[in-house]
């Protein structure tokens, strides 16, 4: 075993659990990725890591937290792998190699870092691509990414998405079985597949961020812990792929959007619209980080869809007020976004920007055209936006009717209550 830190003596079970949770959140991806490379089986690696956690909970309260806890967990997991292979009588080259590595790690762990903290190798990148593999459903990709890359427990994932713990566990188990059945290799995709596969990874991160930004259901309008986890994972991805324009762009988008989080809800947790937010509460550090990431992305070539969205977020983040916002530029950016990534939601957002740039009458024509197409049928923000435009035009009765429709369609309780209040004219 690596040397144990005994300066503080024994630790309470609660202290150990908190320490272990902190280590796991930071190092879980690296631990699992290292084990996957060693044992050649993603599902087995994750199981071994979990067994090491159980062993830590048993030993650390009495013996103290190791000086290098990540190395301790990795070594224990490798030993469990060796024990498993011994029971299966698999004395092959792999067993000898791992045993040799384990002995060397144990000899060095007392004084050395578990791995170079300034170096992020390809193991974590391989793990990210496995977690977001196209053979998995979107829900499975999200659950697996948060579990094995983000280090969240199944309980934390279930709580964040307002679903039963058993559902999360089933998704993860099914995902592991699917990956095993598909014989998915532990590798970075071939060059001709990387763009499409990276797009899937970014899509998962974007989905996680957006669920935190505006929760689709439940009593809370925001779940910022989910958005923060998406940002953390995006930073990891940028560190692994520093020349990937889309990775930098999505990080910029997330940082610039999250900068507004402190001002998006009131003391009761109710939403505060952009026009009513106290911009002094916006996080200037995140704005600076987002703009820096966008500048790095721009240096790599023309803006993609994520870059254009980040540029829109930058327009908001750098404006002193709603009135000072460059709405004409935002409309142009949405037009460009609509050309390279056409979507009815983009058109809806563009119409909202037109409202601010040229007035509600011209925007209403765009909204009516969009409504007639049926593309956003059932989407509560379409009647909600139309209601706002009608209200600006003095057509109050029609506006209340639209707000009532939006309230019926809204899945989030906070948002539904606000829309219902507008429908009632209060």
d(C-alpha 341, C-alpha 1), whole Å = 53
Higher pLDDT, 90 or 326: 326
Q: Are 102 and 79 in contact (CB under 8 A)?
A: yes
The model carries a pTM of: 0.79
Residue 163 is encoded by which pair of tokens? Answer: 């679903």
Please name every residue paired with 4 in a beta bridge, in sequence order, or none if there are none.
66
Query: Residue 2 pLDDT more than 50?
Result: no
Residue 1 is predicted with a pLDDT of 33
Query: Please, which residues have CB within 8 angstroms of residue 417's CB and are 6 or more apart in sequence?
Result: 270
Query: Residue 286 pLDDT more than 90?
Result: yes
| Residue matched to tokens 């309980």 | 155
- Residue 168: CA count within 13 A, CB half-sphere: 21
Cα–Cα distances (Å) from 239 to 64, 67, 168, 248, 421, in that order, read: 33, 26, 29, 10, 46
Q: Are 16 and 56 in contact (CB under 8 A)?
A: yes
Three-class DSSP labels, 348-398: HHHHHHHHHHHCHHHHHHHHHHHHHHCCCCCCCHHHHHHHHHHHHCCCHHH
The 10 Å Cβ neighbour count of residue 116 is 9
Higher pLDDT, 251 or 37: 251
| Closest listed residue to residue 169, CA positions, set 197, 207, 140, 198 | 140
Residue 90 is predicted with a pLDDT of 53
Task: Dump pLDDT digits (tens) for 51-80.
Answer: 998 988 888 888 888 888 888 898 888 888
Length of the chain, please?
Answer: 426
Residue 197 is encoded by which pair of tokens? Answer: 């596969």
Residue 278 is predicted with a pLDDT of 96
d(C-alpha 323, C-alpha 326), whole Å = 8
Q: Which of 8-22, 246-260, 364-378 has the highest mean pLDDT?
A: 246-260
Task: Dump pLDDT digits (tens) for 212-243.
Answer: 898 887 778 888 988 999 999 999 999 989 99
Taking the CA atoms of the chain, what radius of gyration do you get in angstroms? Answer: 25
Backbone angles phi, psi at 66, to 5 degrees: -60, 155
Query: Residue 114 pLDDT more than 60?
Result: no
Residue 18 is encoded by which pair of tokens? Answer: 């908190």
Task: Dump pLDDT digits (tens) for 163-175.
Answer: 899 999 999 999 9
What DSSP string runs through 23-57? HHHHHHHHHHHHHHHHHS-HHHHHHHHHHHHHHHH
Helices and strands: H and E segment counts in the chain: 19, 0
Please state the rounded mean pLDDT for residues 184-211.
88
Residue 118 is predicted with a pLDDT of 37
pLDDT level of residue 93 (50, 70, 90 thresholds): low
Residue 91 is predicted with a pLDDT of 52
Query: Residue 3 pLDDT more than 50?
Result: no
| Closest listed residue to residue 353, CA positions, set 389, 327, 324 | 327
| Residue matched to tokens 């977001």 | 132
pLDDT level of residue 342 (50, 70, 90 thresholds): very high
d(C-alpha 276, C-alpha 55), whole Å = 51
Residue 301 is predicted with a pLDDT of 93
Average pLDDT value over all residues in the chain: 86
The DSSP element (H or E) to which 19 belongs, if any, is helix 13-39
Q: Are 75 and 105 in contact (CB under 8 A)?
A: yes
Residue 20 is predicted with a pLDDT of 86
Please name every residue paired with 265 in a beta bridge, in sequence order, or none if there are none.
271
Backbone angles phi, psi at 248, to 5 degrees: -65, -40
pLDDT level of residue 83 (50, 70, 90 thresholds): confident
Residue 156 is predicted with a pLDDT of 84
Query: Residue 5 pLDDT more than 50?
Result: no
Higher pLDDT, 366 or 215: 366
Residue 8 is predicted with a pLDDT of 42
pLDDT level of residue 313 (50, 70, 90 thresholds): very high
Residue 107 is predicted with a pLDDT of 52
Residue 6 is predicted with a pLDDT of 36
Query: Residue 110 pLDDT more than 50?
Result: no
d(C-alpha 275, C-alpha 390), whole Å = 18
Please state the rounded mean pLDDT for residues 83-99.
61
Query: Residue 318 pLDDT more than 90?
Result: yes
Q: Are 316 and 325 in contact (CB under 8 A)?
A: yes
Q: How large a percentage of the chain has pLDDT more than 70?
A: 89
Least confident of 36-45, 134-143, 202-211: 36-45
Backbone angles phi, psi at 412, to 5 degrees: -90, 130
Query: Please, which residues have CB within 8 angstroms of residue 50's CB and are 6 or more apart in sequence?
Result: none
Q: Which of 84-88, 237-241, 336-340 has the highest mean pLDDT?
A: 336-340
Residue 412 is predicted with a pLDDT of 86
Higher pLDDT, 286 or 3: 286
């Amino acid at each position: 075993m690596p040397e144990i830190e005994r300066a503080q003596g024994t630790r309470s079970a609660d202290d150990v659990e908190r320490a272990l949770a902190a280590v796991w959140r930071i190092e879980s991806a690296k631990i699992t990725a290292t084990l996957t490379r060693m044992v050649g089986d993603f599902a087995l690696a994750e199981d071994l890591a979990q067994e090491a956690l159980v062993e830590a909970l048993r030993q650390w309260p009495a013996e103290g937290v190791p000086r290098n806890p990540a190395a301790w967990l990795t070594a224990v997991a490798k030993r469990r792998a060796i024990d498993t292979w011994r029971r299966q009588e698999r004395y092959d080259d792999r067993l000898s190699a791992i045993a040799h590595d384990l002995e060397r790690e144990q000899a060095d762990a007392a004084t050395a870092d578990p791995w170079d903290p300034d170096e992020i190798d390809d193991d974590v990148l391989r793990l990210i691509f496995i977690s977001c593999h196209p053979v998995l459903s979107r829900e499975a990709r999200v659950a697996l990414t948060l579990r094995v890359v983000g280090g969240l427990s199944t309980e934390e994932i279930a709580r964040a998405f307002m679903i039963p713990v058993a559902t999360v566990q089933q998704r993860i188990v099914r995902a592991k079985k699917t990956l095993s059945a598909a014989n998915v290799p532990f590798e970075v995709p071939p060059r001709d597949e990387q763009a499409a596969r990276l797009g899937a990874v970014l899509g998962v991160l974007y989905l996680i961020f957006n669920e935190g930004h505006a929760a689709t259901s439940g009593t809370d309008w925001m779940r910022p812990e989910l958005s923060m986890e998406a940002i953390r994972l995006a930073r990891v991805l940028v560190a692994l792929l520093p020349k990937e324009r889309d990775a930098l762009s999505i990080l910029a988008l997330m940082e610039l959007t999250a900068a507004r989080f402190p001002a998006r809800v009131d003391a009761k947790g109710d939403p505060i619209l952009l026009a009513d937010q106290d911009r002094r509460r916006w996080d200037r550090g995140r704005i600076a980080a987002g703009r820096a990431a966008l500048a790095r992305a721009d240096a790599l070539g023309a803006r993609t869809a994520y870059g254009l969205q980040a540029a829109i977020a930058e327009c908001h983040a750098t404006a002193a007020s709603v009135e000072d916002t460059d709405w004409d530029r935002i409309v142009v950016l949405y037009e460009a976004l609509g050309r390279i990534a056409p979507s009815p939601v983009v058109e809806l957002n563009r119409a909202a920007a037109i409202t601010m740039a040229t007035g509600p009458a011209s925007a209403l024509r765009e909204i009516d055209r969009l409504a007639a197409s049926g593309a956003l049928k059932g989407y509560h923000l379409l009647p909600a936006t139309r209601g706002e435009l009608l209200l600006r035009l003095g057509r109050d009765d029609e506006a209340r009717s639209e707000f009532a429709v939006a309230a019926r369609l809204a899945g989030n309780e906070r948002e539904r209550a606000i829309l219902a209040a507008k429908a009632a004219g209060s």
